[in-house]
Amino acid sequence: MSLANALKTLGLPHTAAHLDDLVALATKRRWSPVQLLEHLAETEQHDRARRSLERRLARSRLGRFTPMSDFDWAWPTRIDRAAIEAALRLDVLAEGRNIVLVAAQGLGKTMIAQNLAHQAVLAGHHVLFTTAAQLLLDLGSQESARGLARRLHHYSQRGLLVIDEIGYLSYDARAADLLFQVVSRRYERRKSLVLTTNLPFSDWPTIFPNAATATALIDRVVHHAEILSLEGSSYRRRIAEAARKPPRPPAQS
């Protein structure tokens, strides 16, 4: 077995891939065996951290998003910036608390939720970002009790679960029961949720009409939760309207 293959077998893929460069660098700098091993350990740790971050980002299903540096804090007529910035510091994860972002369409609640998810990934947490529709479609499509149990376990074990767009569609009682099971399992394990919704909790029964679990679902969400509300008109609508306006003619000299 070659040295490179032996290093891969030992779990040192970065060293194996850059073996010739490492030997050349060690020779050039006249490293002692201890210095060589220290460099090897440091580069492997950095490479493992990079690969771990890439895996967590891929598994989060976060995709592309707009960073908070581009958020227009002046646009909403009501927003608690300090509370949102505190949430982005992820104190809630250590405490097992939830965050619920309540706002009409176009005010940036999904953008904030995506940035929360990204900060959690960077901090080493295993995160999953999904919409309510995607989550309930996945759970509702399971054809066996074992398959459903496996998917419920999947959603309940992530360090942070972000469920976007609760309230945009109505669901039947079975969907409410499935969402209740996800929330209840995470509640029992003190694992945090981030939820976004366009409806106040008083209107949540309209999302799940005739569902006996709607009240219990709300109770478990809000018991350990920070409720962050945004008010104002749609930022996306403002951008669209600005794009439709004809440019002003140049001033006459």
Which of 16, 40, 60 is the C-terminal boundary of a domain? 60
pLDDT at 41 over 80: yes
DSSP string, 33-67: HHHHHHHHHHHHHHHHHHHHHHHHHHHHT--S---
* Residue 244 belongs to some domain of the structure: no
Q: Are residues 172 and 189 in the same domain?
A: yes
Terminal-to-terminal C-alpha distance of the chain: 81
198 and 87 part of one domain: yes
Domain termination site, one of 34, 60, 86: 60
95 shares its domain with 156: yes
Q: Are residues 148 and 76 in the same domain?
A: yes
pLDDT recorded at residue 252: 57
Token pair in block for residue 194: 């981030």
Q: What percentage of residues in the chain have a pLDDT greater than 70?
A: 92
Examine the domain organization and report whether 33 and 148 are in the same domain.
no
Tell me the per-residue pLDDT of 157-187, one tens digit each, with 9 for 90 and over.
999 999 999 998 888 889 999 999 999 999 9
Do 99 and 196 have their domain in common? Answer: yes
Looking at residue 251, what DSSP letter applies? P
The beta strands (E) that lie in 125-253 are given as 127-131, 160-166, 192-197, 225-229
Using DSSP's 3-state secondary structure scheme, residue 44 falls into: helix
Grade residue 251 by pLDDT with cuts at 50, 70 and 90. Answer: low
Q: Is residue 252 part of a domain?
A: no
Average pLDDT estimate for 56-72: 95
* Residue after which a domain boundary falls, among 14, 33, 60: 60
Residue 239 placed within a domain:
no
Structural domain harbouring 75:
68-233
Same domain, 162 and 207: yes
Answer yes or no: do 56 and 76 share one domain: no
Do residue 165 and residue 204 come from a single domain? yes
**Residue 32 belongs to a domain:** yes
Instruction: Give the pLDDT confidence score for residue 250 in this predicted structure.
Output: 62
CB 92, CB 186: distance < 8 Å: no
Give how far the C-alpha of residue 79 lies from the chain's centroid of Cα atoms, to the nearest Å: 21
Per-residue confidence (pLDDT) for residue 206, from 0 to 100: 86
pLDDT confidence bin for 253, thresholds 50/70/90: very low
pLDDT of residue 117: 97
In this structure, the answer to whether residues 144 and 125 fall within a common structural domain is yes
Q: Is residue 81 part of a domain?
A: yes
In a domain, 153, yes or no: yes
pLDDT band at 70, cuts 50/70/90?
Answer: very high
Work out the burial of residue 198: count CB atoms within 10 Å of its CB; fewer than 13 is exposed, 13-18 middle, 19 or more buried. middle
pLDDT value at 244 more than 90:
no
Distance of CA 72 to the CA centre of its chain: 21
pLDDT tens digits, one per residue of 185-210:
999 999 999 999 999 988 888 888 77
**Confidence band, pLDDT 50/70/90 cuts, at residue 243:** low
Residues with Cβ within 8 Å of residue 65, at least 6 apart in sequence: 111, 114, 115, 118
85 and 167, same domain (yes or no): yes
Q: Answer with the residue of higher pLDDT: 168 or 250.
A: 168
Whether residue 135 sits in one domain with residue 226: yes
Q: Is the pLDDT of residue 232 over 80?
A: yes
The overall average pLDDT reported for the chain is: 90
Alpha carbon distance 214, 200 (integer Å) = 13
- Into how many domains does the chain fold? 2
Which pTM was predicted? 0.85
Span 140-156, pLDDT tens digits: 999 999 999 999 999 99
Weakest mean pLDDT among 82-86, 96-100, 215-219:
215-219
